[in-house]
Structure 1
């Protein structure tokens, strides 16, 4: 079995809340830097609507076990610029 086969077997469906949180993070942050043109409420509304649309369209998103959750902490990374 090669690495690609092992990765596929390790995938599990992501929950709607996990997908929404990842989208919210992507709408509010560029890496660890806060993007100030996306309000928290608007990011949540957009993410939830996108998740609903993806579910209705039959998409299944998966994640690897142990994949890190988005980090929305306002603290800077100690090794960042």
Structure 2
């Protein structure tokens, strides 16, 4: 696998502010296919903070599907 530049690897921090959700989701969706599910979960664990983290904390460490975390964030 080719190493991606850090600006693609790193997601912006998302703390649960609804005005930042669309940008976070678009960036994730546009880059997720470049990484494995394990790598995407690691990216989400680093990027999700604050209230957003509280809303999906259990999934961040119990699910192997990044889609589950993104779905929980959408619903929060």
TM norm structure 2: 0.28
Query: Which structure has the highest helix share of the two?
Result: 2
Which protein is bigger by CA-based radius of gyration?
Answer: 1
Query: Which structure has the highest strand share of the two?
Result: 1
Q: Which has the higher contact order (CA 8 A, sep 6+)?
A: 1
TM norm structure 1: 0.27
